[in-house]
Structure formats: structure tokens, C-alpha cells
């Protein structure tokens, strides 16, 4: 079987382009994957739009975590980009489980269909875009829905949820005796460590990376991404560490990346390759996409895309203490330690202030894998619940608050009598979920005049060279020309048309795969203006473009639903 993650040859983010955003506009480099989007007016100091980072003056000291060492086996010395070595997978991983999770009803699993409907309704309004939701109780799916054009078969960018998958790879490596959480980081990278490293960095252990308590006062990922030679690992090892490791929590995506580099160093495989027989095959996860850095290390800080059900399976594995289909997949000790409160992150008065484990966040109830723009894998052990959510929103604090306000009241305890009317209402709501399509008319008096006419565009930050709209067929067709080629996009009128495209969304280069999922819809918002909405349905991003025709000219305005930095592009003008 060819794994999609390895089949996409050019899914590599080149650090040389990191000094400005991928459009070349000269704006500030976007934050790391899972990093902090700009705070909105009135936002608290610990920005609720992503995993919170207490400010430097108020960060509490770290707690000492109970260790989970295996052995003190030294590094294999394999290069970061080494070829995969033959590894014997842990017991219980030889027969992949390809069947989906079992399905049930809320009442059969002790939940209220009406209560679950309240949760769906709460998520569907006021907190930005939600793209999918899947709720498990007692290991069974009791509710699932995708906001069209998103669909069950789509992978979705997870951003910092990736960190929890990568932590699992570290757990396997510990279990197999390839490293210990008490190993010094420099012991595994003698060839990349400076002759006289920073004393605090020299004292840094694997557990300090896992718990985001490296001693850095600034996330190290920015300097790593800006390094012109692409040597991110060397950049981390050359960094200045102002505080003693293990004493200070700071959300540090660079530390997460280093864990991926460490797994690759001790196994000779990328994290994706290493997890394939150990995690992905037993859980029946396939077709994942995992981006790489210029040094060919999987982006363990935020580069993984999987399906919603895959994310739910991952949470269920941890809920079951590492067991899957009656077999041991992951060490129970690792499942316990990784999700326990290893360090303090605040005063228990905010969604990111309940503590941190090994690349998992503690929550108001249970724990979670947490990614920027609203990617969540909630695990509630006492309630025997897993909730997977994918989104495209900066109000992730609002998403979590609505989960706590509506999910817990839906828990009734033991199995309940079926409620056909409430269940039917819930299923109807889930089946009808959809992102809004542009409002307007299906055609315009201008359509025939502009149809098929090419508009040559002036130089612009988006790099578009020509625009053509063809209204002669059953579905309009938008053709965009840029440096990457000519891209024809079918547009549904009042509905979404799903397709594959080579047109890049230009948020960053990481997820601009050679071909990617796209859904498009449009309408005439005014007699002279056509609006197209392009949803990159494997990501959180939707691009809305309006084309205003004035005689021989067209004016094009583009904006994104969510984006680090400016959400809108400068206006583009074109002449036919």
C-alpha cells in the first residue's frame, strides 16, 4: 500500500522562504503551526485563540514529573534524513484494523439526543466555522457531522494536535528502549551540538521537551524557520536558554519539532514511517499527510492531517489506556504519564491553565490534544467520552466553553430508553450541516458579455496573471493563471462542487501540496459583481473572491475566513 504521506513527494516547507509570508508581501512571518494568531481587541494576555502561553513574568514554576524511562541506550547515530531501518513493531500491531468505529445512539450509551443537539447547535453559531464533529461514548460513535463541503473522507490539518501524535512516537521509542525521558538532548545529537553549548541547553532532557519546560523565554521555532540553510535541529541546539530546564513552562513548538528529530535520529525513520506499523495500522488510519522540513524531518509541531474519525480513534486509544481491539498497542504507563498534569500552566481559571502533560493539555474535564484554529481531540475519562472537532476559527476559547456548557449536561449515566423524536431531530440537524454559500442571483445581464473573456491583471501580491470566468456551461468555470500554471475551477451555483486543484491557497507553503482538495460555490451578489467561494477542504481555509466588472475592466478582491496576518489581499485590477 502506498501511503499518501510518502507519495506526495514535494510536501516540504523550505525554510529559505520563511523571512516573509509565502505570497512574498513582506509581512511578518506567520506564527508556527499551532502558534499564536494575532490577538483580537479586548483579548486577555494569554490569547484564547490558541494554546495559551503565560506571559514571561507570570509563568508558574514547573513541577517535576514522575519518569517513564526504559533504558539509557545511546543514540544510534543515524542521520536525520536516514533511510528507514527494519524495526520489529510492538506486539499486537501486525493485523491492521480497517473497520470503522462502531455506531450507536446517544440514549443507548447514556446520553441525551436533545442534549447532543444542543451541543451541535451551540457549535454551529457564534464561534466561527466548525468543520466536523464526532462524539464517542463507551467507544461507539453516537453523533457525527460535517459542515458541507467538508466530508467524512477528507483529511483535515490538525496543527498542534500533531504534537500529541508525535508524543506517542516518543512513547513507543521509550518502550522499545531506544531512548529515555531522562536522556540529555545533546547526547543524541553530538554531531550537531556546538562545542560549547549553552549550559542550560546542555542540561536539557527529553522530558523538558515533552513538557514545554525547556527554559526558553521565546518559542524557538521562529529562529529555526528563519534559518537560511534549513538546519532547524542545529538552530535549536545553538539557541540561548535563559532559564534552567524543568523550571519554567513556555509553549514551544520548536521543542515539539526537536522531539520529531529525536525520534528520527534514534529510529532511522521519519515519525510518520515509525508510527505506521505501531499506531496507524492497528487503528486503521491511512492516507494521512505529514509535512516535512527542509532537513526532511516530519513537522512534529503541527504538520499532520488525518480524518475526523482517525482523530477520534486516537483519543479512544488513550481513553482505553493504550488498548485497541483487546490488544496492547501503547504502553499503559505512557498513556497515563503523557496525559497527566506534569507541569503547571496557570491558576486553573482558563482553558489553557489546567496544566500540561507530554504534549497533551489538561482540560476543565479530562485532557485534550489541541491545535490552532480549532482542532480538538477531547478525552473525558470519567464520562467515557471522546469528542473530535475540526474547525477554522480563532475563537477556540469559545468552542471549548460551548463544549463544557453543553456536553456535560447531555450525560445521563446508564443506557436510557430510546427517544425517536429527539434522535430524528439530531440526525436531521447533523445531516444538514453546511457552511454558508454566497447569497445572490444565479445569473446576470452581464454574464454573456464577460463570459470567456480573459482579463490580464496588473502585478499583484497574489501572483495572479490572468482571470477568466466562463458562464456558458451548466456550472461556471473560473480560470486563474499564476506562476504555477493555469487552474480551472468549477463553481456550483448555490451549491458546492468538490474537485482537486493545483491552485494554491497561499497561506503558507507547508500544505500547498501538488494537488489538493477544493470545493467551490458562487453567485451574482450584484448585477456587476460575481462572488466565488473556494474552500480548501483539507484545511481550515476558505478564500472568497469577488469580481466586479466595469466596462473593459475587472476588480478582484480576495479575503480568507481565517488567516495569520491580514485576512484580505490588496485589490487586483485586470483589463480584457
The domain ranges of the chain are 1-29+60-86+95-99+160-307+321-344, 102-153+372-435, 447-575
DSSP one-letter string for 387-439: EEEEEE-S-HHHHHHHHHHHHGGGB-SS-----HHHHHHHHHHHHT-BPPPPP
Would you state the pLDDT for residue 41? 28
Would you state the pLDDT for residue 289? 94
Would you state the pLDDT for residue 125? 87
pLDDT-derived band at 515 (thresholds 50, 70, 90) equals confident
Q: How far is CA 238 from CA 188, 194, 208, 399, in A?
A: 15, 6, 17, 38
Q: How far is CA 481 from CA 462, 465, 468, 512, in A?
A: 11, 5, 9, 16
pLDDT digits (tens, 9 = 90+) for 153-198: 999 999 999 999 999 999 999 999 999 999 999 999 999 999 999 9
- Give the residue-averaged pLDDT of 368-377: 98
Q: Which three cell numbers stand for residue 547?
A: 469580481
> How high is the mean pLDDT of the chain?
85
pLDDT digits (tens, 9 = 90+) for 8-52: 333 333 232 232 222 222 233 333 333 333 232 232 223 323 333
Would you state the pLDDT for residue 313? 98
H or E element that contains 335: helix 332-339
Least confident interval from 51-65, 223-237, 462-476: 51-65
| Three-state secondary structure call for residue 450 | helix
Domain 447-575 has CATH 3.30.70.920: no
| Buried residues in 359-370 as b, exposed as e (16+ CB within 10 A) | bbbbbbbbbbbb
Which residues lie below 8 Å from residue 435, measured CB to CB, with a gap of 6+? 129, 147, 148, 149, 150, 535, 542
Kindly report the pTM of this predicted structure. Answer: 0.85
pLDDT digits (tens, 9 = 90+) for 477-499: 999 999 999 999 999 999 999 99
321/332 Cα distance (integer angstroms): 5
| CB-count exposure of residue 490 (10 Å: 0-12, 13-18, 19+) | middle
481/556 Cα distance (integer angstroms): 14
pLDDT digits (tens, 9 = 90+) for 130-143: 999 999 999 999 99
Residue 520 Ramachandran class (φ > 0 left, ψ -120 to 50 alpha, else beta):
beta
In the block, which residue shows the cell 481491539?
A: 325
Least confident interval from 83-97, 406-420, 509-523: 83-97
Amino acid at each position: 500500500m502506498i501511503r499518501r504521506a510518502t507519495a506526495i513527494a514535494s510536501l516540504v516547507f523550505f525554510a529559505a522562504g520563511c523571512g516573509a509570508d509565502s505570497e512574498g508581501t513582506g509581512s511578518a512571518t506567520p506564527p508556527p503551526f499551532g502558534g499564536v494568531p494575532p490577538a483580537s481587541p479586548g483579548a486577555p494576555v494569554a490569547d484564547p485563540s490558541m494554546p495559551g502561553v503565560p506571559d514571561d513574568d507570570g509563568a508558574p514554576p514547573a513541577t517535576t514529573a514522575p519518569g517513564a524511562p526504559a533504558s539509557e541506550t545511546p543514540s544510534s547515530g543515524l542521520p536525520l534524513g536516514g533511510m528507514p531501518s527494519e524495526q520489529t513493531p510492538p506486539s499486537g500491531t501486525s493485523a491492521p484494523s480497517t473497520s470503522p468505529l462502531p455506531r450507536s445512539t446517544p440514549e443507548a450509551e447514556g446520553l441525551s439526543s436533545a442534549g447532543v443537539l444542543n451541543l451541535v447547535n451551540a457549535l454551529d453559531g457564534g464561534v466561527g466555522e466548525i468543520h466536523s464533529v464526532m462524539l464517542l461514548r463507551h467507544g461507539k460513535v453516537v453523533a457525527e457531522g460535517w459542515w458541507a463541503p467538508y466530508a467524512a473522507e477528507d483529511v483535515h490539518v490538525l496543527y498542534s494536535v500533531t504534537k500529541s501524535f508525535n508524543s506517542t512516537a516518543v512513547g513507543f521509542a521509550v518502550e522499545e528502549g531506544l531512548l529515555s525521558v531522562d536522556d540529555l538532548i545533546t547526547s543524541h545529537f553530538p554531531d550537531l551540538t556546538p562545542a560549547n553549548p549553552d549550559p542550560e541547553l546542555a542540561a536539557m532532557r527529553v522530558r523538558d521537551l515533552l513538557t514545554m519546560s525547556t527554559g526558553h523565554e521565546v518559542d524557538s521555532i521562529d529562529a529555526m524557520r528563519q534559518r537560511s540553510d534549513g538546519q532547524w535541529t542545529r538552530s535549536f541546539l545553538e539557541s540561548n536558554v535563559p532559564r534552567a530546564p524543568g523550571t519554567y513552562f513556555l509553549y514551544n513548538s520548536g521543542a515539539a519539532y526537536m522531539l520529531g528529530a529525536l525520534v528520527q535520529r534514534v529510529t532511522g525513520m521519519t515519525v510518520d514511517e515509525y508510527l505506521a506499523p505501531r499506531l496507524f495500522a492497528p487503528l486503521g488510519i491511512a492516507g494521512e499527510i505529514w509535512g516535512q522540513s527542509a532537513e526532511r524531518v516530519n513537522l512534529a509541531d503541527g504538520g499532520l492531517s488525518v480524518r475526523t474519525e482517525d482523530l477520534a480513534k486516537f483519543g479512544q486509544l488513550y481513553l482505553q489506556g493504550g488498548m485497541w481491539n483487546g490488544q496492547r498497542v501503547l504502553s499503559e504507563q505512557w498513556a497515563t504519564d503523557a496525559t497527566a498534569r506534569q507541569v503547571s500552566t496557570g491558576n486553573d481559571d482558563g482553558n489553557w491553565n489546567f496544566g500540561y502533560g507530554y504534549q497533551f493539555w489538561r482540560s476543565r474535564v479530562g485532557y485534550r490534544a489541541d491545535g490552532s484554529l480549532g482542532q480538538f481531540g477531547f478525552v473525558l475519562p470519567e464520562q467515557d467520552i471522546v469528542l473530535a472537532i475540526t474547525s477554522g476559527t480563532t475563537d477556540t476559547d469559545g468552542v471549548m466553553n460551548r463544549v463544557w456548557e453543553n456536553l456535560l449536561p447531555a450525560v445521563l449515566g446508564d443506557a436510557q430508553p430510546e427517544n425517536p423524536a429527539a434522535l430524528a431531530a439530531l440526525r436531521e440537524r447533523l445531516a444538514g450541516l453546511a457552511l454558508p454559500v454566497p447569497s445572490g442571483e444565479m445569473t446576470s445581464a452581464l454574464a454573456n458579455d464577460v463570459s470567456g473573456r480573459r482579463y490580464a491583471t496588473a502585478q499583484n501580491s497574489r501572483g495572479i496573471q490572468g482571470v477568466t470566468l466562463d458562464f456558458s456551461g451548466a456550472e461556471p468555470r473560473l480560470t486563474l493563471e499564476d506562476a504555477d500554471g493555469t487552474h480551472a475551477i468549477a463553481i456550483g451555483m448555490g451549491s458546492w462542487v468538490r474537485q482537486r486543484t493545483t491552485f494554491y491557497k497561499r497561506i503558507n507553503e507547508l500544505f500547498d501540496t501538488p494537488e489538493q482538495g477544493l470545493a467551490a460555490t458562487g453567485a451574482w451578489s450584484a448585477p456587476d459583481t460575481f462572488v466565488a467561494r473556494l474552500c480548501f477542504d483539507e484545511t481550515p481555509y476558505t478564500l472568497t473572491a469577488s469580481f466586479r466588472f466595469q466596462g473593459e475592466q475587472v476588480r478582484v478582491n480576495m479575503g480568507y475566513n481565517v488567516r495569520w496576518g491580514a485576512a484580505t489581499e490588496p485589490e487586483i485590477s485586470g483589463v480584457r
